[in-house]
Structures are given as C-alpha cells and as structure tokens.
Structure 1
C-alpha cells in the first residue's frame, strides 16, 4: 500500500491493525507519560466493538502470561545465583590445588590439568545457566516450578495449622 491511495481503498490485515494500534497506543502513552485506567481500557474496547466478556477473558489471559513471565524471571535469578555459588566453589577448589602444586613442586604443573578440566565444566555450566530456550530449559523450569508450588502449598498448610493452633 502506498501513501497516495485514497482512504476508502486502504485495507489492513488483523495483524497489521494490531501493530498499528500498538504503535499508536505506545506513542500516546509516551506523550502523556501516564498509564491507562481500567475504565479507559473498557472504553477503547467498546470503540473497537470488543465485548466486555471478551475483554475480561483477554485480561485474564494477559494476567496469566504476566504471572508466567514473572515466574520465569524468578527461575532465571535462581539459576544465576546457583551458578555464582558453583563458580565460587570452582575457584576455591582450583586455588587450593594450585597452592598445593606450588608448595609441593616449586611450580604449577599437574594443577593446570585440574584447572583446564574445571574451566571446561564452568563453560558447560555457563551454557546451561544462560540458555533460556529449548527443551532442557523448559524441563528445568517445569521441575523448579513444581517444587516451588509444592513448597508454597506446604507453607500455606503449615501456616493455617499454626494459626489454628494459636486460636
């Protein structure tokens, strides 16, 4: 489509409409430097002939997606923290072996092999920690998420029990 076509001939696919409206809303929000209220969201949906039920379902889906994004962010922070701990362990072990090699033989010889092997392990660890896509990541996330949900359930049950015992 060119800019010289009359307005009545222009037509857009649903994806193009969504992209144009996203850009317009983002531009509008930046210019005003404020957030939209729920009432404004309802008004926009009404103008686009979107039913309140459809809007409510879309909002619920959006909230579910946001919750998933937040859980993944927490999982990624957990993985990075675990990586930092293991990196510290690698550093301590390698420092120990290098010091033992220096003291026992007057130089560094056999400890270099251990350092090289641990460097390989650190490289694999870096790859696994910062790889946030793929089947292995999904399996690790699902495993962590299940453990996290079980912990939350146990904590809420225990809190209820303690509250019941206190009364």
Structure 2
C-alpha cells in the first residue's frame, strides 16, 4: 500500500491535529529552531488568538521549568544512591575480609551482605520511580529544603554585607 492509497478521514480529534501539525512544522523548517516571531506568525495563520497563544506559551515555560527542577531532583537522588552503593561496597568489603581472615571462608558475612543489600535495593527502586504520589511528595520536600537553603544563604549574605559596610 502506497501513501497515495491512504484516504484521509473527514475529521480529526484534537490530539491528531496536534500530531499532524507538529509533523508538518518539523518538515517545513530545515532549521532546528523557530524564532518567537515565527511562532506568532504560525499561530496567526492558524487563527489562534494572541491571548490563547500567550497563555499556552506561559504554561509551556512553567512546565519546562518544573521539568528542569524534577531533572535536578532526579540527579540528586541518583547521586545519593551512588553514595549508598559506595558505602555498601566499603562496609561489605570490610566485613567479607574480616570473615575470611577469621574463619578462612565466607559464612556469616553473606548474611550481612544480604541484610544490608535489601534496603539498598529498595532505595534503588525508589530512586528510579519517577511517578506517583510518593515521588511528588519527596520532590516537594526536596524543593522546599532547597528554597529554604537559598533563602537563608541570601539572608546571611545580606547580613554580612550590611555588617561589613
């Protein structure tokens, strides 16, 4: 079946229109970026009200900022997990070495290896789980702490500059 044999439907759902327009705009432009003026021109050609476009652009910017914050949070969680893995490796290496020196074989150290590995496995699952209520709660707590640290740091810097002046 060739592309010319495909008959387009008489109507499209909203999501389908978005997908088709996205593909058309991507094919029309040879460059990777469009200017804001070009965005406004495309919207005018599509008879999209300027106020609607402005709200959509604002929503998009807010979503983009939120996603950047979540990406930073995910990187933070992955760094924390990496530290836990390193700590797990160091502790278990010491325990295994101690077991080998004391008994000449691996025996009781395997139990410790498993017992310490279970919380690490759960933390690993939690780190890579990026959806759901628990994730959102952890993100909000992290973001609140980050904002508080930034506020306190800013206040401290203002106090220092006022004190030294």
Question: TM-score over 0.5 for the alignment?
Answer: yes
Match of 1:69 in 2: 67
Q: 1:33 offset after TM fit, Å?
A: 2.4
Q: 1:84 aligns with which of 82, 85, 92?
A: 82
Q: 1:165 offset after TM fit, Å?
A: 4.5
Match of 2:135 in 1: 137
Match of 2:95 in 1: 97
Q: 1:163 offset after TM fit, Å?
A: 4.2
Question: Bigger CA drift: 151-160 or 65-74?
Answer: 151-160
C-alpha distance in structure 2 between counterparts of 1:123 and 1:19, whole Å:
39
Question: Bigger CA drift: 90-99 or 46-55?
Answer: 46-55
Q: How many pairs does the alignment contain? A: 161
Q: Given the alignment of the two structures, is residue 152 of structure 1 paired with residue 160 of structure 2, yes or no?
A: no
Structure 1 residues 21-60: Cα deviation after superposition (integer angstroms, max 9, x where no partner): 011122234xx12310011011111111222222111111
C-alpha distance in structure 2 between counterparts of 1:159 and 1:58, whole Å:
37
Taking structure 1 as reference, are residues 83 and 36 closer, same or farther at Cα in structure 2, changes over 3 Å only? same
TM-score w.r.t. length of structure 1: 0.87
Structure 1 residues 53-105: Cα deviation after superposition (integer angstroms, max 9, x where no partner): 22111111111000000000000000000000011111111111111111111
SS in 2 for 1:60: helix
Match of 1:15 in 2: 15
Q: Given the alignment of the two structures, is residue 27 of structure 1 paired with residue 27 of structure 2, yes or no?
A: yes
Q: How well do the aligned residues superpose, as a CA RMSD in angstroms?
A: 1.9
Gaps of 5+ in 2: none
Match of 2:118 in 1: 120
SS in 2 for 1:121: helix
Q: 1:166 offset after TM fit, Å?
A: 5.2
